[in-house]
């Protein structure tokens, strides 16, 4: 049904006010009729919008919008990290004081009729949805500090989860086609992993790993969705294969991946202390190959460790657990001070403010992973308390694991690769293409034992 076209006392039609979602009268909501709303649009979650970036702080926002290739007027919508429950429209623009990123807070309340209404921090207008706030200021500009800033197109968020394109929809699995066993296989970041059986459309049944959300709060849900979004991009022989996603009755997402039957590499090494050196180099080369692929896709893992490498048949290993992963939109990303990070595997630039990460941070972690391999699963810096790393800044002061701590099988050549990975300056570390080539040379004498 179309909107009525009668005029109000401002000369604007009721249809205009309904479409723009703005009520310019002072809001005594019970004294007026509720505005006409787009119920279908209001049901679409913000996570579906390309311009929605979730909870990021102003520093990260400024870095994203401040890129020289981002034109003036480009905006994002984000959740404030300082004021709970508040959204911000942040836009790149220019004021008399010069260029910058400007933010308008948007608060949500009840309109008295049981519907949401939205107000901005710059005037007393009332809107029926955040989308209508955006449409209004795209038409009228944002007045800040006596200067009008244009609001143009939204910046596309590369983390945007399960968009409306056909490729995304094809990755959704029917929940009734998955049978999940009750006992969990283990826990990862933000999720519990179970064994399941997936009945494919051709009635063929295969064993799968099913990852369910550990907690149901909003922050954990966003991180879980980010993990699924990253995994959609990671089809490689040495990265765990993402099969699809389905939703439980409570609308919580569930990630389905291939099942690696022999579990994680750390436990395998700890229970197989006689694993031949050739096998260790084979594992190292496969992981380097997988990380080289992730690097080519601008994906940083941020939690590369033996516990997150899974073992299959014929000594095939694959990188798993993308709970901390991110797709790089610039050369590096920043983490909050409260981020749950694996301290002994994390590069020094990720341990102290401003806590920045790049693919070179993963290279550092790979060096730590090599120490786990050669010691058959021993914890890195075994005699060093975590507090010495975080509070005493031991790594920043130049402390590194020594070759004699890593056992007799740690050759000078292998240790040289580790120390290159552990350079204090990220730019001095090799990329994964170089690392993979160096490991390949170490592995070459053992190649007849495995398919290289």
Chain centre distance of CA 70: 21
If DSSP codes are grouped into helix, strand and coil, which group holds residue 230?
helix
Contacts of 45 (CB under 8 A, 6+ apart): none
CA distance 226 to 210: 16
Q: Where are the alpha helices (DSSP H) in 107-165?
A: 130-140
Residue 303 annotated among the catalytic residues of the structure: yes
Q: Is 199 annotated as a binding residue?
A: no
Give CA–CA dist 421/345, Å, rounded.
Answer: 12
143: which strand partners? 148
Which of the following is catalytic: 264, 303, 321, 362? 303
Q: 172 has which bridge partners? A: 245
Closest by Cα among 276, 449, 430 to 360:
430
Residue 365, Ramachandran bin (φ over 0: left; ψ between -120 and 50: alpha; else beta): alpha
Tokens standing for 285?
A: 């080369």
Gap between the Cα atoms of 45 and 53, Å rounded: 13
Position of tokens 């099942």? Answer: 259
Which residues are annotated as catalytic? 303
Q: Residues comprising the binding site for ATP?
A: 212
Binding site feature residues: 212
């Amino acid at each position: 049904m179309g909107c009525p076209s009668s005029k109000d006392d401002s000369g604007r039609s009721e249809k205009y006010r309904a479409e723009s979602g703005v009520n310019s009268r002072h809001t005594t909501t019970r004294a007026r009729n509720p505005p006409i709303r787009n119920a279908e649009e209001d049901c679409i979650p913000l996570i579906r919008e390309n311009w929605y970036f979730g909870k990021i702080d102003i520093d990260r926002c400024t870095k994203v919008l401040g890129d020289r290739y981002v034109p003036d007027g480009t905006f994002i919508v984000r959740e404030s990290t300082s004021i709970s429950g508040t959204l911000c429209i942040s836009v790149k623009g220019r004021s008399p004081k010069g260029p910058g990123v400007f933010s308008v807070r948007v608060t949500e309340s009840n309109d008295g009729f049981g519907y949401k209404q939205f107000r901005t921090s710059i005037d007393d207008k009332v809107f029926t949805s955040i989308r209508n706030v955006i449409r209004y200021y795209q038409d009228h500009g944002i007045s800040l500090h006596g200067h009008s800033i244009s609001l143009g197109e939204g910046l596309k968020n590369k983390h945007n989860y399960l968009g409306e394109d056909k490729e995304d929809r094809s990755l959704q699995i029917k929940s009734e086609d998955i049978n999940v066993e009750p006992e969990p296989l283990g826990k990862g970041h933000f999720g519990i992993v179970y064994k399941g059986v997936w009945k494919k459309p051709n009635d063929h049944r295969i064993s799968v790993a099913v990852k369910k959300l550990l907690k149901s709060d909003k922050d954990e849900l966003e991180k879980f969705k980010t993990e699924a979004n990253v995994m959609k991009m990671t089809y490689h022989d040495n990265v765990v294969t993402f099969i699809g996603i389905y939703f439980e009755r409570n609308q919580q997402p569930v990630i389905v991946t291939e099942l690696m039957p022999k579990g994680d590499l750390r436990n395998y090494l700890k229970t197989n202390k006689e694993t031949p050196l050739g096998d260790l180099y084979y594992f190292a080369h496969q992981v380097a190959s997988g990380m080289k692929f992730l690097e080519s896709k601008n994906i940083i893992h941020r939690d590369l460790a033996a516990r997150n490498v899974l073992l299959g048949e014929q000594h095939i290993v694959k990188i798993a657990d993308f709970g901390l992963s991110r797709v790089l939109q610039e050369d590096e990303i920043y983490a909050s001070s409260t981020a749950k990070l694996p301290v002994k595997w994390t590069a020094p630039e990720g341990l102290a403010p401003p806590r920045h990460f790049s693919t070179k941070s993963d290279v550092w972690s790979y060096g730590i992973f090599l120490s786990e391999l050669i010691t058959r699963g021993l914890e890195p810096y075994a005699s060093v308390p975590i507090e010495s790393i975080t509070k005493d800044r031991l790594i920043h002061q130049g402390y590194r694991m020594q070759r004699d701590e890593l056992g007799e099988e740690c050759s000078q050549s292998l240790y040289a690769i580790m120390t290159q990975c552990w350079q204090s300056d990220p730019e001095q570390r090799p990329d994964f293409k170089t690392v993979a080539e160096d490991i390949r040379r170490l592995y070459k004498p053992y190649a007849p034992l495995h398919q290289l």
